[in-house]
Amino acid sequence: MALVDKATFPRDKACGDLVGPRGLALLAQLGLTPPPDGREVGEMVVLGPTGRRVVLPARAGLTYPGHGVAITRRRFDAWLRDEALAAGAEPVVAHVADLAGPSSVVLDDGTRLDADVVVGADGARSALARRAGLIDPHTVLWGFAYRGYAAQHVERPVIALWDETPRRGFPGYGWIFPGEDGTANIGLGLGLGPAGARRASARAVERFTSFCSHLRDHGLLASSVEERRLGGWLKMGMVGTIAARDRLLLVGDAAGLVNPLQGEGIAPAMTSAAAAASAILADPSTAARRYHAHLRSSAGRFATATAPIHIAASSTPRRVAVVGRVLTAPGLGALVAAPWALLWNDLADGAPPGASRTIVRAALALSRTLSQRSAVAQRLADQFADP
């Protein structure tokens, strides 16, 4: 099996560097222990737009641990690649330039690689997805996020909901997550809605300085953010992407698997890759159909409920400002924190039975019902017709 990547590892990647509980559960299932440099991350503090704070709990589920791990992508991705090589993958450092038939690719030096199946894991701007005609650029839900590091110890990670201007909520959120060796990873990400790439992706970059001032005003940032900053695209909720056809299976960001509510993409990338691998091992000739069916009942189901929420939030700043206030209101904030943590981290499946899980399942069902006639719901339904 050839593992082709244009980058040489270790390489940097724009990220909050937080591997969520489902990602850790998968690694454990595969018998893999991430490098010890990471830091366990459990509950988080949410800073509301008015400065009120709520603690989002982190509870173990039946199928995942009660924490994630903060670890730089330089370290994590290089380690994961090494594990793949140790398991028998053959490294190829090259830019994939094109597809040459259902299961062949051409590298930029003209070399052609033929395989039983091609797995497109080439990120949010996947050239393979584009070349295979699996993307509808007009309906994709884009997000964009930007991050930098600061010399600051982070005791508890922070999620910041922020009014960009008075009573106009920023259509996303900012964060302060633990970095390595007493550093903090500070970022700001936003949803752009359908065809958002045409709008200014630069907004997260432009607003970064104001956002950092906001953190300083609330005593959450004491040092300056280093100039080595990186931004990147998020392709969310699978909208506008057919994830598999014939002998090409898209995984991770290439398939648009980023969580439309909070931008998590590492765990979805790893779990989709594992599902693609199982489908291929069962039978390469029918892998696309099996993989597609798996996504329809997992990430696709979550997306039908949450992609409409993403669209509503990215287009209505006043509503975002109200929701931010409600979620962090005195009394109410503490009450909704547990279901909120399950909902927006996509942790309801596999959560222990209880009030939070029931509330989240009801909220997801309600969102599906209310949005079933929307363009995005129709689009997802069409996509999940058999490949």
Ligand X SMILES: Cc1cc2nc3c(=O)[nH]c(=O)nc-3n(C[C@H](O)[C@H](O)[C@H](O)COP(=O)(O)OP(=O)(O)OC[C@H]3O[C@@H](n4cnc5c(N)ncnc54)[C@H](O)[C@@H]3O)c2cc1C
Kindly tell me which of 6 and 156 has the beta carbon lying closer to ligand X. Answer: 6
Q: Which is nearer to ligand X, 271 or 371 (CB)?
A: 271
Contact set for ligand X, span 281-310 (CB under 6 A): none
The single residue among 65, 193, 256, 263 that binds ligand X, judged by CB under 6 A, is 263
12-15: Cβ within 8 A, 24+ apart: 12/73, 12/74, 12/230, 13/73, 13/74, 13/77, 13/230, 13/232, 14/145, 14/146, 14/147, 14/230, 14/231, 14/232, 15/73, 15/147, 15/185, 15/232, 15/266
Evaluate the omega torsion of the peptide bond into residue 10 and state whether it is cis, within 30 degrees of 0: yes
CB 61 within 8 A of CB 352: yes
Interface with ligand X, residue 80, by CB under 6 A: no
From 2-10, 83-91, 357-365, 376-384, give the range in contact with ligand X by CB under 6 A: 2-10
Strands 53-56 and 2-5: unpaired
Applying CB under 6 A, among 123, 148, 237, 324 the residue interacting with ligand X is 123
Reading the block at residue 133, the tokens are: 């005609």
Phi, psi of 202 (to 5 degrees): -70, -5
Q: Tell the burial category of 214 from Cβ atoms under 10 Å away from its Cβ (0-12, 13-18, 19+).
A: buried
Both structure tokens of 199: 């709008």
User: Where does this chain touch ligand X (CB under 6 A) — which range of 31-39, 265-273, 314-322, 347-355?
Assistant: 265-273
Q: Which of 4, 25, 184, 236 binds ligand X (CB under 6 A)?
A: 4
d(CA 334, CA 184): 26
In the window 177-236, what residues touch ligand X (CB under 6 A)?
187, 189, 232, 234
Integer Cα distance of 264 and 22 in angstroms: 11
Q: How far is the CB of 153 from ligand X (least distance, A)?
A: 18
Amino acid identity for residue 102 in this structure: P
The residue (of 171 and 265) whose beta carbon lies closer to ligand X is: 265
Q: Is residue 240 involved in binding ligand X (CB under 6 A)?
A: no
CB closer to ligand X out of 266 and 303: 266
> Between 149 and 377, whose beta carbon lies closer to ligand X?
149
The stretch near ligand X (CB under 6 A) out of 153-161, 195-203, 257-265, 350-358 is 257-265
Minimum distance of ligand X from residue 250's CB (angstroms): 9
What's the DSSP call for residue 198?
G
**Distance between CA atoms of 58 and 65, rounded to whole angstroms?**
9
Of the pair 173, 384, the CB lying nearest ligand X is at 173
Q: Is 112 a binder of ligand X (CB under 6 A)?
A: no
Contact 138, 150 (CB under 8 A): no
Considering the complex, state which of residue 259 and residue 383 has its C-beta at the smaller distance from ligand X. 259
How many residues are there in the chain? 387
Instruction: Tell me whether residue 48 or residue 123 sits nearer to ligand X (CB atom).
Output: 123
Using CB under 6 A, pick the residue from 264, 294, 309, 333 that binds ligand X: 264
Chain contacts with ligand X (rule: CB under 6 A): 4-7, 13-18, 20, 95-96, 121-123, 127, 145-147, 187, 189, 232, 234, 252-254, 258, 263-267, 269
